[in-house]
Structure 1
Amino acid sequence: MPDYLVVAGLSLVTAAIVMTLTAVAAARSGHVSVVDTAWGIALSTVSVVCAAWSGTWQSWVLVALVGIWAGRLSSHIFTRSRGHGEDPRYLAVLGGPLSEVGLGVAVRRVFLVQGAAVWLVSLPLQAAAVADLSWTWVAWLGVVVWAVGVLFETVGDAQLAAYKRDPVRGPVMDRGLWSWSRHPNYFGDACVWWGIWLAGGLASGWLAALVSVLAPVAMTVWLVWITGARLLEKTMMKRPGYAEYAARTSMFVPLPPRRARAGHRR
């Protein structure tokens, strides 16, 4: 227990430092949405702290898994948001632009919440840092699930980018993975964190699994009902053709389309 308290404390301090630096960057840029890029950086940094404490190959594998995921995510978000203004989600959370509401409001409503979320999601990393590896095969199963998640995220984002570049695209993206799931990138992100839980939490024994399972559960809840799919659906349902697309396509878990669309362009 003392070891876990130390690792938990170090993880919390690390998340706080990264979010403090991110708040400074937000104040300079005028955009709170920089926190989306910092999210992956914070988790990657926590993973290194946990691995440095434990020194086990399991924890260093987790560093690689989190680092690859974080690098891809941060690069994708930075490229997508470059040249754009504040994310409308944060305008709604803050009640206005940062220049009007002030940094204090942003710290309370965004950066403290994001820092706590980083600590919560890092529970499997913390568990692996203090518990002995119990089942090696479960750790490698976690790597496989993680790889499936990264594949869905990468392919889904690439297909969406290609759709946006298509001058004759239809009003709704329903090609490739998007014909099986309305949010394949969010599904992939959930798989990533269930894989990390398998590799770091369950592989370290039942107690470590129970302590850390809240991390992938919370991530999935956020992706589906809070900050991800459900929130985006409210906007997308106003787009012509989206209701019909939603009627035939699974929202989250990829499933075969419920019916084919006559004359659909592939």
Structure 2
Amino acid sequence: MSGGAWPAFGLNLVVSAAAVLAVLLLAFAAGTARRLHRYVDVAWGLAFATVAGVTYVLSSGHGDATARIVAPLATAVWGLRLAAHIAWRGRGHGEDPRYERMLARARGSRTAYALRTVYLLQAALVWLVSLPVQAAPYAGVPVGGLLWAGVAVWAAGLAFEAVGDHQLARFKADPAHRGRIMDRGLWGWTRHPNYFGDFLVWWGIYLMACATWRSAALCLVSPVVMSLLLTRGSGKRLLERHLADRPGYAAYTARTSGFVPRPPRGPRGRTGPGSGEATG
């Protein structure tokens, strides 16, 4: 990133922060009115797409024209697909059990607790994780192989996530699978195809921002934070804690990788009743 691009990049950071906060506050208003804080999961993807749009507009006249298009477009495609999928998946359902358990710990106003621990926290995480998207257009040097390597990693992640979501949706749509754990397709290779896909997506977007050592160093926090969220934070760890006592889930975990895909150990079979992300 050249010296002249820093003020423009700084403005991008400020405007993006304001835009992300606006999206999450709108989601908070909707969630409070409907008493469904699961709306924040839809807002998560929309907030990233908003950052991408803000960055594309504000970066006009700065850096490489290709990077200005590719990184925001990749982020917007991922964010909008994720938001649409979560909105479709959650239609007609009540509150997400994760938020029920979280809000049950509130002392005093549940609404204020939800604002602090769900919406404002996620707004801060969106802004932090989106640093590569914001930095890539301001690198000030022609794009190189790392940008296209990033596109390849991003595309692999997006495909992995989308295929896994599609496979699970088809599995759940069949009444014969009700109460059964999904252990087919990508779900036989990893218990979390969607989380592994997100992992690849954000390391790919990070590579798109690595045109200079300054931007690479500045943005490294983004994929690291996302990786920790997926594996140790609100992703894999919380979901598996929720599913741990379900009949048949222990056998599924014994033969299926927890994150990085690999062939299952032993034969697959019709796992016993269970519920949750990987069940019908």
Q: What TM-score does the superposition give when structure 2 sets the normalisation length? A: 0.86
Separation in 2, partners of 1:240, 1:155: 26
* CA positional deviation for 1:135: 4.2
| Greater percentage in helix | 1
1:238 and 2:245 correspond? yes
- The aligned counterpart of 2:258 is 251
The residue that corresponds to 1:5 in the other structure is 10
Give the SS at the match of 1:161.
helix
Runs of at least 5 residues in structure 2 that lack an aligned partner in the other structure: 1-5, 271-280
| Residues 171 and 239 in structure 1, CA contact (< 8 A), matched pair in contact too | no
Report matched runs for 1:111-126 at 5 Å. 111-126=119-134
1:177 aligns with 2:186: yes
Query: 1:184 Cα deviation (Å)?
Result: 0.8
When the two chains are superposed, the root-mean-square deviation of aligned CA atoms in Å is 2.0
- Counterpart-to-counterpart distance in 2, 1:127 and 1:176: 36
Deviations 1:78-136 (A, max 9, x none): 11111111111112222279xx9443222111111011011101100121132224542
Separation in structure 1 between the aligned mates of residue 14 and residue 258 of structure 2, nearest angstrom: 37
* Sequence identity percentage: 46
CA distance, structure 1, for counterparts of residue 260 and residue 23 of structure 2: 33
Aligned with residue 195 of structure 2, among 186, 190, 200: 186
**Distance apart, 1:63 and its partner CA:** 2.2
Within the alignment, does 1:214 sit opposite 2:193 as a pair? no
Q: Report the Cα distance in structure 1 between the residues aligned to 2:175 and 2:33, rounded to whole angstroms.
A: 36
In structure 1, distance between residues paired with 2:170 and 2:21: 37
TM-score between the two structures when normalised by the length of structure 1: 0.91
Which residue of structure 2 lines up, in the alignment, with residue 39 of structure 1?
44
- Counterpart code for 1:114: Q
| 1:94 and 2:103 correspond | yes
Unaligned runs of 5+ in 1: none
Say if 1:95 and 1:101, in contact at 8 Å, map to a contact too.
no
1:224-244 deviation digits (Å, cap 9, x = unpaired): 111111111112222222211
1:128 correspondence with 2:128: no
Distance in 1 (alpha carbons) for counterparts of 2:105 and 2:87: 22
2:275 is matched with which residue? none
- Deviation string, structure 1 residues 42-67 (Cα, Å, up to 9, x no partner): 11111111121222331221222112
SS for the counterpart of 1:168 is helix
Matching of residues 73-112 of structure 1 within 5 Å: 73-95=82-104, 101-112=109-120
Q: 1:133 to 1:251 in 2, by over 3 A?
A: farther
Structure 1 residue aligned with 2:57, among 52, 56, 74? Answer: 52
Aligned counterpart, 2:29: 24
User: Residue 248 of structure 1: CA displacement?
Assistant: 1.4
